[in-house]
Structure 1
Amino acid sequence: MASDPPLNRTLVPLLTSPGGSLSDDDAQFLLVPIHIVTHASQLPAEFLYPSVDRQLIIGFDCEGVDLCRNGALCVMQLAFPDAVYLVDAVEGGKALMQACKPALESSYITKVIHDCKRDSEALYFQFGIKLHNVVDTQIAYSLIEEQEGRKRSPDDYISFVGLLADPRYGGKSYLEKEEVRVLLRQDPAYWTYRPMSEMMIRAAADDVRFLLYIYHKMMEKLNKRSLWHLAVRGSLYCRCFCINDNDFADWPRLPTLPDILAAEGYVPEEEILSVLNVPPGKMGRVIGKKGASIRSVKECCNAEILIGGAKGPPDKVFIIGPVMEVRKAEAILRGRMIDL
């Protein structure tokens, strides 16, 4: 099936653009087509058939209704240097998503994404896809901040809007994002409507068209140790909400320490994901009034602590970090569940 000529186009930053900030000068951008994909044949062959000889780096995101295990993934965005592909999971259905499965699980295709947790959960529970080999720009941002001596406070996660506004990674305002947020609040089924409106197409493309540029700016800053931690934490975040009965035995193995770091004598503490079951009626104790209890645990443990919340699962706490810090967080949280 031949792809129809694209009706929409967008501007992507040239990877050779000087400095960190992007001006509105068109010379810093390349006009590329936006392809609406409803059949696998409309996607590049090098994406559908991953190969060690043709490794790719792509921008990646998903849109949907209440995006999680129980929601509905509606659009998957893929940003290549010369085109943006909007994979229509509503029109293309499971057949189209299954055609994308090898690429999304491949070690040969790097998926650059901002906050992979819920996207990974939706892909896993709705389509059986184990998202692998991601570069999560939210994690990368935190690692760069640590490298440069700035300490992040608990729950101080940078949003994609905030990241893009940072002069080091674009210096671009993303005011249109709020337009879509307002529409989503008014109508949660916004991403299900077909044909996609011009605003839907623009919003979907906007969420990925800067990702490759941001990726290259971050790669210039991350040292070898941070790159290692980025790979491990990205893998753990992909697994985070995708709990199963076999302790992730069917998922790709976590990245091993590169030889160059081992040769330098670097011995990092193992980082793990722990899933803590919370008995009925005890989640209030874990969280505390206005989140005070869980916040105090985060402040004393060097680990990420995540609650399933409204999207679920509602009875579990997810802890990611070095083994000793994770065990400390587990012990404190279990203590708060005990009846006095």
Structure 2
Amino acid sequence: MASPHKTHIPLPPDPGELMLGTRVINLLGIMLLSKMHQNSGDKTLENEACLSTVPIHVVTDASQLPAEFLQPSCERQLFIGFDCEGVDLCRDGSLCIMQLAFPDAIYLVDAIEGGETLVKACKPALESSYITKVIHDCKRDSEALYFQFGIKLHNVVDTQIAYSLIKEQEGHKRVPDDYISFVGLLADPRFGGISYDEKEEVRLLLRQDPNFWTYRPLSELMVRAAADDVRFLLFIYHKMVEKLNERSLWYLAVRGALYCRCFCIDDSNFADWPPLPPIPDNLIADKTAPEEEILSVLDVPRGKMGCVIGKRGANILSIKQSCSAEIFFGGDKGPPDKVFIIGPVKQVRKAEAMLRGRMLQMY
């Protein structure tokens, strides 16, 4: 049955580069795609992209999803755009929709109508190293999938991380909390030059009614907004990968894995998660080989997080300026009394020491 919903997906000049079956490319082999495009110029989406009209399928049963997605195989590597929508998306919130953008269709997996059975049918794909999930800021999506459905999101390309790495390659100094929004990323002429005004409209509706994504049937606005959050991701991925050197590609892989784990702390200490991508041999041989990157979780005495952060974030800002490490907090969505630190081992240990010193000053 034909879908009543359609949209346009911008694809790179050769969409086959993102299709599976002709090339074996994953986060550990992504350098190949970079080499293929190292001489390409920067063009706007309008000038370079091939716009393909594709259907948007609202999925309520696993049988409506592609077989190659439900049954991942090393013989058919897949690249998909991925995102989640929900109410207070986190461990205790409610996941309502998962969006999957393929080169030939978009699938809106309805977690409310299809329930746990449908979401868990996607578990092999979301955990597979054969399917690369391109996403913008994976932390809360991963947390929701892990605590609500037992899914360990794996093999992601996080475009927020990639953007930061591109800026570093270009010689920009690393700035604390310099995280680009998806709207900002789309507006960058190197990755689309598109104004995403409708996103602000949906954000306003969400502020007025946090249950926006729970209503059924899905309205035309809901379908369009959900599709818009993923339909550009494969094009952006293509544009970003061609700019990243091999060192940055490894950082992209390992930091994506660490971001997926960030808020998913439990008693297992990630023992049952897939191993982190190792440093490639050619980078180890380099005199300036990258240092191993880790995730560290610090406990903060109950009720003392405000003192650790400081007035208007002054304490944390000072630590971030002193350490080349990312520092995150669970915040209102939780976990409330933990600090998450991601970065090179020495920088993480330095941040830990400074945070512990701050905690000692409270007593």
Q: TM-score, normalised by structure 1?
A: 0.96
* Aligned-partner Cα distance in 2 for 1:250–1:27: 40
Cα deviation, 1:255-287, whole Å, max 9, x if unaligned, reads 112233345566321111000000023211111
Q: Deviation of residue 290 (structure 1)?
A: 1.0
- 1:199 maps to a residue whose letter is L
1:193 aligned residue (192, 195, 215): 215
> What is the match of residue 116 of structure 2?
94
Equivalent residue in structure 1 for 2:11, among 8, 11, 14:
14
Residue in 2 aligned with 1:124? Answer: 146
Measured against aligned partners, the alpha-carbon deviations of 1:287-308 in whole angstroms (never above 9, x if no partner) come to 1111111111111111000011
**2:13 and 2:48 in contact (8 A); partners too:** no
Give runs of aligned pairs for residues 310-325 of structure 1, distance below 5 A.
310-325=332-347
Aligned counterparts of 1:227 and 1:320: Cα–Cα separation in 2:
17
Q: What CA distance in whole angstroms lies between the structure 2 residues aligned with 1:265 and 1:284?
A: 42
CA distances 1:114-165 after superposition (whole Å, capped 9, x unpaired) = 0000000000000000000000000000011101101131111000000000
Tell me the CA shift for residue 22 of structure 1.
Answer: 2.2
Q: Note if contact 2:12-2:48 (Cα within 8 Å) is conserved in structure 1.
A: no
Instruction: Give the 3 Å change call, closer, same or farther, for CA 264–330 of structure 1 in structure 2.
Output: closer
Amino acid at match of 1:68: C
Unaligned runs of 5+ in 1: none
Identify the match of residue 63 of structure 1 among 72, 85, 88: 85
CA RMSD, Structure 1 to Structure 2 (Å) = 1.5
Call closer, same or farther: CA 1:265–1:191 in 2, change over 3 Å.
Answer: same
Q: Please give the alpha-carbon distance, in whole angstroms, between the structure 2 residues aligned to 1:255 and 1:327.
A: 21
Alignment pair present for 1:228 and 2:250 = yes
Find the residue that maps to 1:184 and give its secondary structure: helix
The Cα of 1:247 is off from its aligned counterpart by 1.2
Structure 2 distance, partners of 1:109, 1:27, is 23
2:9, 2:78 → 1: CA distance? 17
Identity rate, percent = 75
Question: Whole-Å Cα distance in 1 between the matches of residues 266 and 337 of structure 2?
Answer: 15
Equivalent-residue separation in structure 1 for 2:284 and 2:68 (angstroms):
33
Whole-angstrom distance in 2 between the partners of 1:34 and 1:229: 33
How far apart, in 2, do the equivalents of 1:281 and 1:70 lie?
20
Structure 1 window deviating more from structure 2 (217-226 vs 278-287): it is: 278-287
Tell me the residue number matched to 1:45: 67
TM-score by length of 2: 0.90
Q: Is the contact between residue 20 and residue 171 of structure 1 (CA under 8 Å) also seen in structure 2?
A: no
- Opposite residue 259 of structure 1, the aligned amino acid is D
> How far apart are the structure 2 equivalents of 1:31 and 1:266?
46
Cα-to-partner distance string for 1:155-187 (whole Å, 9 max, x where unaligned)? 110000000000000000000000100100010
Corresponding residue of 1:294: 316
Q: Which range is displaced more, 328-337 or 12-21?
A: 12-21
User: Are the aligned partners of 1:272 and 1:322 in contact in 2 as well (CA < 8 Å)?
Assistant: yes
Aligned to 1:83: 105
SS at match of 2:307: helix
Report the secondary structure of 1:70's partner residue.
coil
Q: Does 1:337 align with 2:362?
A: no
